Structure 1
Amino acid sequence: MRALTWHGKHDVRVDTVDDPEIVNPRDAILKITSTAICGSDLHLYDGYIPTMQKGDILGHEFMGEVVDVGPGSTLKKGQRVVVPFNIACGSCYQCGKQQYSACDNTNPADNQDLGHTLYGHGMPGIFGYSHLTGGYAGGQAEYVRVPFSDVGPIVIPDGVDDDKVLFLSDILPTGWMAAENAEIEPGDIVAVWGCGPVGLFAVQSAFLMGAERVIAIDHFPHRLELAKKFGAETINFEESKTYEALMEMTGGIGPDAVIDAVGLESHGLFLDNVVDQIKASTFLGTDRIHALRQAIVACRKGGRVSMPGVYGGMVDKFPLGALMEKGLTLKTGQTHCQRYLPALLQAVMEDEIDTTFLISHRMPLEAGPEGYRMFHDEQNEVTKVVLKPDMALAA
């Protein structure tokens, strides 16, 4: 089959690889109908995530048709399903608490050592996202093996277009959990750093959870315009000083809750960010946390900080004093997708949540390397790239 594979920093290729096969009784094999490039994939593209190996198949946002099943799968051939990015066994201590992204059993033991060294515990399994998270082949391919298929995938009703439900695989539940972690109360003012896919879904989710005002912060004009369509007020951090603007907009109090949907590669020519970039380029540091620093400092006293943005290593100049002295609550973590899928699918079906607005480009799988380049280099114009394995490559 054909698949997008990683070969190094800014080097993604379309290769011919072996077709997946049933390995365990609970496996299923999917023929991919739609798969997307995620903002988190750009961390792989930029070489920030360790333990990638040449030839690894990328992709953790995908859906497709079931073409084969093991005897322990609850899926049936011919069903259309969306698959969560995180792999969960459904029976361990963490899954019993519906903390599916912390599953203890889906990352093979020989991949656990680095996770224990970095974080104190091993990582769960994730599709297409390094050997730190299991080394599983991803879904940016014609076919994919889905382990524990009786736990993760959600069956999609006939007649529902892929574009409407594809983002149940990751970014929609991630934006929803980001807003849930912000513990939004009716009348709240919520500030969201980053108007990428997760940030935009967090904006929608915050309003649905009762926020009175949502303030979206970014520097890409088109993404800020998308946030405005859902009723958000906006701050372009290249045109205004974010902290000062937020104080003015909130009467000097600060937002009740803040959401960092940026993660470890913050943009902007700010002194702390420049220092972070220098440290990262000289291997003296890893993550650039300007957005998170700014969110903590701007949040009102007694407020809540939600951090869906991906971080991977040690950070410098973390405003721990502000977090403590202001009595802030910080919640974060990979998304427990399986917990949210039934309700979110219903919300999408009833048009309570819009998803298709995000897609700016639909491309064949063979054009995947160009899709990565575009999403990386043209973030104002390219908000989401969806790859279709059955789409013909333009002449």
Structure 2
Amino acid sequence: MKALTWHGKGDIRCERVDDPRIEHGRDAIIKVTACAICGSDVHIYDGVIPSMQSGDVLGHETMGEVVEVGPENKALKVGDRVVVPFTISCGECFFCRRGFYSGCERSNPDKAQAEKMWGYSPAGLFGYSHMLGGYAGGQAEYLRVPYADVGPIKVPTGLSDEQVLFLSDIFPTGYMAAEFCNIQPGDTIAVWGCGPVGQFAIRSAVLLGAERVIAIDTVPERLALAQAGGAEVLDFLEEDIYERIRELTKGRGADACIDAVGTEADAASSFYARIDRLKVATFMGTDRPHVLRQAIQCCRNFGTVSIVGVYGGYLDKIPMGSAINRGLTFRMAQTPVQRYLPLLLERIEKGEIDPSFVITHRASLEDGPGLYETFRDKQDGCIKVVLRP
């Protein structure tokens, strides 16, 4: 089959790889009808995610048609149309039974690697390094889905692929980011990053009742889309974000701040962001947490900082003194996607949101390598890429 594979920093190829096969009785094989390039994939493209191996198949936002089912899988049948969560979860362990599917204790066969970095291992993920299981991803013609009787959700007739594809990751992630804010009537929510996850965080905050959403970015197309979704927008290259949020909130600060950027914050945004980039380039640091620092500083006393941007290692110069002395609450997670699927599918069916609004580029797998660069460099108005094998 054809698939997008990683061969080093900046080197993504569309090439032939072995077809997947059933390896466990609960598995399923799907024929991919749509997949997407995620902002998290850009971290792989940039070479900042450890334990990738040459030839690894990428991708964790995938949907398609079931073409084969393992003998122990009673939840799916051939012909079912499904969306596949990016988190691989057994459904039976301590964390899965409590709804924390992204903390699954069983789905990462390489958990020893993750434990060395993080203390304990989260769930395995599709297409996201051998530290998280080494699973082949879904930017391919076919995908093997482990624990397929737990993860995939069946798609009702009448909904297009583009309406439901983002249930695999970015819609639940953005919704969780807003849910973490415990939004109350009258609240102001500030969102850093108007990429795909940020866009869903903005719209989810509006759905959950925020009175005001402030969106921070510098890319005109992203700011325009955020504004269309109900946000007031700030360009971090044109304005002092801390001072503007103070002004907009009458000196109090935002009730909650969402970091939808993560480790690769724009180095042009401040002196300290440029220092972060220099440290990473000289192996003196692992992440660039400028956005997180700013979110902490801009949050009101006893407010919430919601973190859904990806960080991989150890963060430098985080203002914990500010957070502790002002009583901030931190909420963060890899999204337990399965927990959110029924609720968000219902919102789509009711017409409360059409997730396809975020798509700007549609292409084939063969176009994927070039579109990784387009997406990473924010060229051609690119906000979200959907690929159709």
TM-score of the superposition, structure 2-length normalised? 0.98
Residue 331 of structure 1 corresponds to: 331
* 1:267-306, Cα deviation, whole Å (9 max, x unpaired): 0421111111111001110110111000000100010110
Q: How does 1:82-161 map to 2 (within 5 A)?
A: 82-108=83-109, 111-161=110-160
State whether residues 374 and 380 of structure 2, in contact with CA within 8 Å, keep that contact through their aligned partners in structure 1: no
CA RMSD in angstroms comes to: 0.8
1-structure distance, mates of 2:373, 2:232: 30
The amino acid of 1:153's aligned partner reads P
* Structure 1 gap segments, 5+ residues each: 390-395
Residue 32 of structure 2 corresponds to: 32
2-structure distance, mates of 1:115, 1:195: 29
Q: How does 1:202-213 map to 2 (within 5 A)?
A: 202-213=201-212
2-structure distance, mates of 1:171, 1:122: 22
The amino acid of 1:216's aligned partner reads A
Is residue 299 of structure 2 the alignment partner of residue 304 of structure 1? no
CA shift for structure 1 position 388: 0.4
State whether residues 220 and 379 of structure 1, in contact with CA within 8 Å, keep that contact through their aligned partners in structure 2: no
State whether residues 89 and 105 of structure 1, in contact with CA within 8 Å, keep that contact through their aligned partners in structure 2: yes
2-structure distance, mates of 1:382, 1:290: 23
Q: How does 1:12-31 map to 2 (within 5 A)?
A: 12-31=12-31
Residue 215 of structure 2 corresponds to: 216
Residue 281 of structure 1 corresponds to: 281
Q: How does 1:167-246 map to 2 (within 5 A)?
A: 167-246=166-245
Report the number of matched residues: 387
Q: How does 1:255-266 map to 2 (within 5 A)?
A: 255-266=254-265
State whether residues 191 and 255 of structure 1, in contact with CA within 8 Å, keep that contact through their aligned partners in structure 2: yes
State whether residues 111 and 131 of structure 2, in contact with CA within 8 Å, keep that contact through their aligned partners in structure 1: yes
CA shift for structure 1 position 160: 1.6
CA, structure 1 residues 177+380, in 2 after alignment: closer, same or farther (shift >3 Å)?
farther
State whether residues 267 and 277 of structure 2, in contact with CA within 8 Å, keep that contact through their aligned partners in structure 1: no
1-structure distance, mates of 2:378, 2:137: 24
CA, structure 1 residues 333+379, in 2 after alignment: closer, same or farther (shift >3 Å)?
farther
* Structure 2 gap segments, 5+ residues each: none
The sequence identity of aligned pairs, in percent, is 57
Residue 376 of structure 2 corresponds to: 376
| 1:174 match: secondary structure | helix
2-structure distance, mates of 1:159, 1:255: 40
Q: Which moved more, 1:163-172 or 1:226-235?
A: 226-235
| 1:145 match: secondary structure | strand
| 1:179 match: secondary structure | helix
* 1:53-76, Cα deviation, whole Å (9 max, x unpaired): 000000000100000000121101
TM-score of the superposition, structure 1-length normalised? 0.97
The amino acid of 2:96's aligned partner reads C
State whether residues 362 and 387 of structure 1, in contact with CA within 8 Å, keep that contact through their aligned partners in structure 2: yes
The amino acid of 1:303's aligned partner reads G
Residue 366 of structure 1 corresponds to: 366
Residue 393 of structure 1 corresponds to: none
* 1:50-97, Cα deviation, whole Å (9 max, x unpaired): 000000000000100000000121101001000000000000001011
State whether residues 183 and 209 of structure 2, in contact with CA within 8 Å, keep that contact through their aligned partners in structure 1: yes
| 1:302 match: secondary structure | strand
Is residue 7 of structure 2 the alignment partner of residue 7 of structure 1? yes
